[in-house]
């Protein structure tokens, strides 16, 4: 009759087996199946759900390789405190799921690891600044309170512009106030974003405040899409794939974080010197660079980091298109 091990020996054996199984699962989960092909002389890759579709950008690290849950929690440490206004709405999974739509197009997957991390910090710098409920003496400082909001709390109007009644008619009863990670305003902007994401946001703008993945995707669409033909997207301006024209140079528009503010907000932020609204966005970006281990010293000199002296790409009209 075989010897029966005592309970202590059995417990140790089970512990070793459990640890070994956990190690195997972690190893299996962390290993990616990367498909690599050559198409028309160019190397292209597919990394599964997060970076899918045979793209040159998918041959680089994906965002989850260098930006993980604990870092998201560090950047947005106060978003679920009782005084926040969107408790339980924003999370890392929603961000990564949204990013999967744009990583094959270069979002967070352009250039080397430092450029990739800087772009994620830059995008989230805008997000944090535009959704913060922090103030000067708030615990952790203003930069700790990003993703506090997912919508404008006290809209002053319905943001329906009748000028666009043929292309983007306002839906009866709908309000087009600011919603999302980089807030969307006005019926025509909801219409454009809705067309791009194949969502009926013109008739249902409330979808943005009901779905965090969609809210992040809307912000990423704005980041990746030029406002007008012949102008760069915020993504292109940041990663340096945009080459300024002579007119851009004369207007002091250069590749970098400053020009992303010019593209997204125009003269509501830029061309006014070192105003508080601009500096708040810059400080979020710098803070996130520190938290992600890149360091704010990598943000670049003042003329690259800010848009204080830049001429706006698109001077404001009677209807501001962004906050």
Tens-place pLDDT, residues 221-263: 999 999 999 999 999 999 999 999 999 999 999 999 999 999 9
pTM more than 0.85: yes
Report yes or no: 270 and 252 within 8 Å, Cβ to Cβ: no
Q: What is the mean pLDDT of the chain?
A: 89
Answer for the pair 300, 256: CB distance below 8 angstroms, yes or no.
yes
**SS3 letters for 46-62?**
ECHHHCCCCEHHHHCCC
pLDDT over 90 for what percent of the chain? 84
- For strand 42-46 and strand 35-39, is the pairing parallel, antiparallel, or unpaired? antiparallel
- Cα 167 to Cα 164, 170, 192, 275: the distances in Å are 6, 10, 10, 36
| CA distance linking residue 304 with residue 319, whole number of Å | 28
Q: How far apart are CA 137 and CA 119, in angstroms?
A: 28
Q: What is the DSSP letter of 38?
A: E
Residue 44: phi and psi, rounded to 5, are -130, 155
The pLDDT, as a whole number, for residue 141 is 80
**pLDDT tens digits, 269-320:** 999 999 999 999 999 999 999 999 999 999 999 999 999 999 999 988 644 4
* pLDDT for 4: 36
Sign of CA dihedral 57, 58, 64, 66: negative
């Amino acid at each position: 009759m075989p010897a029966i091990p005592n309970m202590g020996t059995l417990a140790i054996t089970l512990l070793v087996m459990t640890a070994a199984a956990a190690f195997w699962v972690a190893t299996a989960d962390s290993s990616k199946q990367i498909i690599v092909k050559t198409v028309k002389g160019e190397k292209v890759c597919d990394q599964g759900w997060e970076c899918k579709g045979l793209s040159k950008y998918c041959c680089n690290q994906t965002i989850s390789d260098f930006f993980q849950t604990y870092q998201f929690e560090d950047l947005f440490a106060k978003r679920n405190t009782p005084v926040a206004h969107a408790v339980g709405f924003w999370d890392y999974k929603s961000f990564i799921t949204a990013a999967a739509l744009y990583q094959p197009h270069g979002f967070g997957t352009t250039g080397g690891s430092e450029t990739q991390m800087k772009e994620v910090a830059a995008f989230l710098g805008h997000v944090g600044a535009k959704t913060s409920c922090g103030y000067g003496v708030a615990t952790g400082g203003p930069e700790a309170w990003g993703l506090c909001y997912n919508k404008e709390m006290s809209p002053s109007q319905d943001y329906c512009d009748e000028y666009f009644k043929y292309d983007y008619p306002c839906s009866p009863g709908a309000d087009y106030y600011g919603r999302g990670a980089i807030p969307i305003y006005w019926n025509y902007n909801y219409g454009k974003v809705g067309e791009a994401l194949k969502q009926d946001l013109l008739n249902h703008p409330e979808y943005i405040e009901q779905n965090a993945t969609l809210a992040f995707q809307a912000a990423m669409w704005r980041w990746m899409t030029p406002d007008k033909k012949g102008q760069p997207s915020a993504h292109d301006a940041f990663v340096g794939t945009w080459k300024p024209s002579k007119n851009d140079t004369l207007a002091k528009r250069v590749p970098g974080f400053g020009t992303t503010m010019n593209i997204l907000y125009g003269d509501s932020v830029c061309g006014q010197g070192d105003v508080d609204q601009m500096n708040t966005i810059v400080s979020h970006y710098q803070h996130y660079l520190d938290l992600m281990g890149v360091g704010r010293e990598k943000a670049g000199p003042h003329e690259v980091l800010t848009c204080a002296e830049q001429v706006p790409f698109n001077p404001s009209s009677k209807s501001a298109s962004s906050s």
